[in-house]
Amino acid sequence: MSDFTIATNRRAWYEYEILEKLEAGLVLSGIEIKAVRAKKVNLAGSFVRLRYGPGNAQPEATILNLHIGTGVQPTRTRQLLLHRHEINKLIGKLEEKRLTMIPLRFYLKRGLAKLELGLARGKQLHSKRESKRRKDIQRDIDRTLREKA
């Protein structure tokens, strides 16, 4: 069974250099999963934070500013479902290399809500210009090849 993509964060590929990807589950309420199935999800401006929960000795992963539906709290903090070893590995990478974690894609997999997360480094302005220039050149090459064929 294939994944059913609900939303993608296209801006992330422009703003960040994606170094690594991973999959995480998401804790949602009933009204939220109904909104997800109606594709009322916005990933813009959302990010992942690893922090210690109330009364927990182990850190937990949460996503902030993820907009789901038009309910009472559409941008509430939601818990991500990751294994403990994955969280510990991420803590080391985030602190050591000064990286951030952002959602790239929101999808349903076998009826369960999943997020594709990206371990990312912010791009400088000149890097953004360079990637846009490369993309334009590739588009021109593809266009000329299509016209000749």
Distance from C-alpha of 101 to C-alpha of 148, rounded to nearest angstrom: 43
Opening angle at CA 128, ends 124 and 131, nearest 5: 135
Residue 71 has pLDDT above 70, yes or no: yes
Pick 57 or 135 by higher pLDDT: 135
Note the pTM of the prediction, 2 decimals: 0.80
Convert the pLDDT of each residue in 109-126 to its tens digit: 998 999 999 999 988 888
112 CB-side CA count, 13 A? 13
Domain 4-123 CATH superfamily = Small protein B (2.40.280.10)
In the chain, what are the domain boundaries?
Answer: 4-123
pLDDT value for 107: 96
pLDDT value for 148: 86
Convert the pLDDT of each residue in 13-47 to its tens digit: 888 999 999 999 999 988 999 999 999 999 999 99
pLDDT value for 58: 82
Q: In this structure, are residues 19 and 99 in contact, taking their beta carbons and an 8 Å threshold?
A: yes
pLDDT value for 40: 93
The burial class, CB within 10 Å (0-12 / 13-18 / 19+), for 85 is exposed
Of 17, 21, 5, which Cα lies nearest the Cα of 103? 21
Tell me how far CA of residue 1 lies from CA of 56, 57, 110, in angstroms. 36, 37, 7
